[in-house]
Amino acid sequence: MKTVKVIGAGLAGSEAAYKLANLSIKVKLYEQKPLKKHEAFKTDLFSELICSNSLRSDDINNAVGLLKEEMRLLDSLIIEAALKTRVEAGKSLAVDRIGFSKYITERIQNHPNIEIIHEEVTDIDINEPTIIAAGPLCEGALSQKIKELCGKDYLYFYDAVSPIVEKESIDFNYAYYKSRYDEDNKGDYINCPLTKDEFNEFHRAVLEAKKADIHDFDREIYFEGCMPFEEMARRGQQTLLFGPMKPVGLEHDGVRPYAVVQLRKDNAIDTLYNIVGFQTHLTFPEQERVLKLIPALRNLSIVRYGVMHRNTYINSPRVLNKRYQMINYSNIFVAGQISGVEGYVESAASGLYAALCMKQYLDGNIASELGPDTMIGAMANYISDKNINKLVPMNANFGIFKCDYQGPKNNKKAFYVKTALEQINNYKDKYV
């Protein structure tokens, strides 16, 4: 039986290891937890969700919704776990954070083709088939080794996490349940309204609040999809009002609030909620002081404060081909956020596809590539595009999707979905 080394048991590594194991390939899965753990992690489980507990839109006509459906058709462990542990979140696929990771951990631990090795990897053997899924928090000797293999400097950006609060500390004299525009007639979100004066006071306090120090770095490069709310506030009130505090579609008793803070369920037993879009790296005391200016949160109890961490990724267009395979080292594949994709689902999808391409490579075949008329293929095409001088991590979107369509504009996405799923099913019949 052929053997592949997978470094990292995050979303990409777990997905890759499980897929290879199901394809009758022996996997040595290296995970340094619990021996060594970055401060952003809170458990020893695999595929731990650091930021949001949402895998975003479940609408198949949305780019990430299509990506999830492509993954489901290819028997994704991550999507299976998400569907098994989902919590109410309107049209989004949100999960019970701990239940999700436990499900994945147990499936991997019980797979006969996977050997789990709790050990810090400090070197990479270029003669050994390997999938590097070390994650965007990769550091130390492994980070240095990856730099040496790439022959290029890492790129990086800062990422931030939203606070999680206890539901029982929310004041429902002010808060109310409602999904935006009453999607599906379900009120899956807790909404905390503010008047104009309350919002102005909140905004002033945010501008004055002290940020936590970011050690060892002198420049902050934010990923726009996870920008700290205090950074949005510095860009002007309208940035918040058209962003995470947008009141549109959240009328209550016939009245639209001036601003709204939304909270989304974070666990299945309905005791914890995360503050949607409020990624932050304010100091812990400042987070509590500022958030308590929101009337419904005046008595809030924070169980996990927002934190800031550096996400690292390689300059993939100079290093990887369209199969997540290193151009100069054919035994080495790179998957997850360190490859330049952005987002939970995207990271898992890259691990899934890297595993499928690794299987074909081990069989002595030049891997048949999924084209850019699938979302999985479009992502691989984007991060390996040699015309890109400096890679910017990007979520799945139809802007990178390439499909010839000449019909009416309102039918375009439906055509994209039909084309993509046909390609995925054809690929599955041949290679999965």
List all residues 6 or more positions away from 367 whose beta carbon is below 8 Å from its beta carbon: 323, 325, 356, 357, 360, 361
Q: Who has greater pLDDT, 89 or 20?
A: 20
CB-based burial of residue 255 (10 Å sphere; 0-12 exposed, 13-18 middle, 19+ buried)? Answer: exposed
Say if residue 74 is in the same domain as residue 205. no
- Write down the pLDDT at residue 216: 46
Local confidence band at 217 (pLDDT 50, 70, 90 cut-offs)? very low
Local confidence band at 313 (pLDDT 50, 70, 90 cut-offs)? confident
Is residue 34 reached through a cis peptide bond, with omega within 30 degrees of 0 on the bond before it?
A: yes
Say if residue 298 is in the same domain as residue 408. no
- What number is the average pLDDT over the span 196-210? 96
* In the predicted structure, residue 299 carries a pLDDT above the cut 50: yes
Q: Who has greater pLDDT, 158 or 26?
A: 26
* In the predicted structure, residue 424 carries a pLDDT above the cut 60: yes
- Write down the pLDDT at residue 218: 39
Q: How many domains does the chain have?
A: 2
Q: Is 47 left (phi over 0), alpha (psi -120 to 50) or beta?
A: left
Say if residue 130 is in the same domain as residue 208. no
- Report pTM: 0.79
- Write down the pLDDT at residue 366: 72
Which residue among 261, 276, 306 closes a domain? Answer: 306
Which residue among 289, 306, 323 closes a domain? Answer: 306
Say if residue 362 is in the same domain as residue 383. yes
* In the predicted structure, residue 242 carries a pLDDT above the cut 90: yes
Q: Where are the strands (E) in 300-378, listed by range?
A: 302-304, 308-313, 332-334
- Sequence-ordered alpha helix ranges (H) in 85-211: 97-109, 140-150, 196-208
Say if residue 408 is in the same domain as residue 281. no
CA distances from 88 to 95, 193, 254, 317, 354 (A): 8, 21, 24, 38, 31
Say if residue 406 is in the same domain as residue 341. yes
Say if residue 151 is in the same domain as residue 183. no
Say if residue 330 is in the same domain as residue 235. no
| Sheet arrangement for strand 302-304 | 176-177, 189-194, 259-265, 272-275, 164-166, 302-304
* In the predicted structure, residue 409 carries a pLDDT above the cut 80: no
Say if residue 302 is in the same domain as residue 395. no
CB-based burial of residue 146 (10 Å sphere; 0-12 exposed, 13-18 middle, 19+ buried)? Answer: buried
Which residue among 267, 289, 306 closes a domain? Answer: 306
* CA–CA separation, 327 and 324 (whole Å): 9
Taking residue 241's Cβ as centre, other Cβ atoms within 10 Å add up to 18
* CA–CA separation, 272 and 169 (whole Å): 10
CATH number at residue 331: 3.50.50.60
CATH number at residue 290: 2.40.30.260
**What count of Cα atoms within 13 Å lies in the side-chain half-sphere of residue 314?**
32
Alpha-carbon 75 to chain mean position: 19
Domain assignment of residue 47, given as a range: 3-156+313-431
Q: Who has greater pLDDT, 323 or 311?
A: 323
Say if residue 328 is in the same domain as residue 385. yes
**72-86, 88-102, 390-404, range with the lowest pLDDT:** 390-404
Say if residue 178 is in the same domain as residue 58. no
Q: Are 64 and 393 in contact, with CB atoms under 8 Å apart?
A: no
% of the chain surpassing 70 pLDDT: 94
Most confident of 42-56, 112-126, 139-153, 400-414: 112-126
**93-107, 151-165, 192-206, 332-346, range with the lowest pLDDT:** 151-165
Say if residue 321 is in the same domain as residue 387. yes
List all residues 6 or more positions away from 217 whose beta carbon is below 8 Å from its beta carbon: 310
